[in-house]
Amino acid sequence: MSGGSGSLSPALGPAAAARGPWSAGRARGTKTDRFGDALLKSLCAAASLLAVVILGAIFYQVLDGASAAFSQLGIGFLVHEVWQPNFGHFGAATFIYGTVVVSLVTMVIAVPLAISIGLYLSTTASGRVRSVVGPLVEMLAAIPSVILGFWGLIVLAPFLQAHAEPFLHSTLGFLPLFGKGETTGLGLFTASLILTIMVVPIVAAISRDLFLTVPKDLQDGAIALGATRWEVVRGVILPSAASGVVAAAFLGLGRALGEAIATLQVIGGGNFIHASLFGTGGTLASRIAEDALGTPYALQLSAVFYLGAILLAMELVLNLAAQAIMRRFDAFSAVAAR
């Protein structure tokens, strides 16, 4: 392409020909080549810089938008319970509480289920079953949150209200957590179940990949010592993948924290803290989405950014922790695979 065959081409012009065949070809090639290299490299660098700028702008804008609310409402915003924009009452406590409770319930249900599915896909299932079931489980993650929320609103919530919640209330009702439910079936519990559906495929897929990286030699060694399949899982696979599974759970938790739409649809939009899981409530993300649907007042918009800043801080911590663990794990499994 850029070789020195220029002497054969009449299109080079007299000036190039006068300098001799080789130097002419090389001079032309070098110029384009050098320019092309520089152009491609700077384009790539610019695109990468753009990604950095976008992330920086997101952080800056969220903090900047929150600054007005922060100066007016201060740190007390975090512990005030009431959110009544019409009366100028802004407090994040209900939504922080809602976020924590919904995330906890989600993780309590989702993590064991997801690890179990990950084990099934990596150890128990045969190759052909694996190649069918694996993509189907991941399909769950592809369902748009708005459709899942719509389904939760129309199908799941009435079912829970009619069957699951009365049962849980009558058997575990002595705990305030399982108090009397709402008449609609919407609430923290329903939101947790919908988020579980979104989190399970993520954690299951990552942990399956982690379990598949556990060296076969170690497993064979355990089997040779007479371990049963479960003992191989408990004694070899789980311990060597444990930190990675924690990271996977963090990533799933990050997804649950940040999901706004499905949560908004099924959480019932309560503005107060209810002790019962079956009561309505709100998470940080769902409150942001709910207020965004209307036209917020100036201070309300800033308070929404304040909620966003809290959410962003949570996400940042979770994601950094997950990445730190994952990177160490990558290095570890790279060594183990060698």
**Window 16-55: residues binding other proteins (CB under 8 A):** 33-34, 36-37, 39-41, 43-48, 50-52, 54-55
Copy the structure tokens of residue 76: 């007390």
Q: How far is the CB of 179 from other proteins (least distance, A)?
A: 26
Closer residue to other proteins in complex, CB, 62/241? 62
CB of 123 to other proteins, least distance (A): 8
For 327, half-sphere exposure in the C-beta direction (CA atoms, 13 angstrom radius) is: 5
Q: How far apart are CA 306 and CA 112, in angstroms?
A: 33
Nearest residue (CB) to other proteins, 24 versus 301: 301
259 binds other proteins (CB under 8 A): yes
Pick from 86, 89, 83: nearest CA to 281: 83
Closest distance between other proteins and the C-beta of residue 174, in Å?
28
- Which residue, 177 or 333, is less far from other proteins as judged by CB? 333
Nearest to 322 by CA among 206, 233, 236: 206
Report residue 194 CA to chain centroid gap.
15
Q: In angstroms, what is the minimal distance from the CB of 229 to other proteins?
A: 5
> What's the closest the beta carbon of residue 137 comes to other proteins, in angstroms?
5
- The span from the CA of 150 to the CA of 22, in Å, is 71
Residue 275 DSSP class: S
Residue 116 makes contact with other proteins by CB under 8 A: yes
Select the residue interacting with other proteins from 77, 90, 120, 178 (CB under 8 A): 120
Contact residues for 188 (Cβ-Cβ < 8 A; gap 6+) = 98, 101, 102, 105, 267, 274, 277, 278, 279, 280, 281
Task: Say how far apart CA 104 and CA 276 lie, in whole Å.
Answer: 14
Nearest-angstrom CA–CA distance, 90 and 83: 5
Is residue 61 near other proteins by the rule CB under 8 A? yes
- Tell me, residue by residue from 294 to 333, as one string, x for binding to other proteins by CB under 8 A and - for no binding: -------x--xx--x--xx--xx-xxx--x----------
Site string for other proteins, 171-200 (x = CB under 8 A): --------------------------x--x
What are the tokens at 99?
């976020």
Near other proteins in 129-168, by CB under 8 A: 133, 135-137, 139-140, 142-151, 153-155
For residue 125, count CB atoms less than 10 angstroms from its CB and return exposed for 0-12, middle for 13-18, buried for 19 or more: middle
Tell which residue, 253, 268, 266, 263, has the closest CA to residue 284. 263
Work out which of 288, 300, 303, 329 binds other proteins, going by CB under 8 A. Answer: 288
Pick the closer one to other proteins by CB: 104 or 324. 324
- Is residue 258 a contact residue for other proteins (CB under 8 A)? yes
Binders of other proteins in range 195-234 (CB under 8 A): 197, 200-201, 204, 228-231, 233
**Residue 336 binds other proteins, judged by CB under 8 A:** no
- Largest distance between two CA atoms of the chain: 99
**C-beta closer to other proteins: residue 93 or 143:** 143
Rg (CA), the chain: 28
Place of tokens 């800056």: 60
Of residues 79 through 108, those in contact with other proteins by CB under 8 A are: none
Residue 337 Cβ vs other proteins, minimum distance, rounded to whole Å:
16
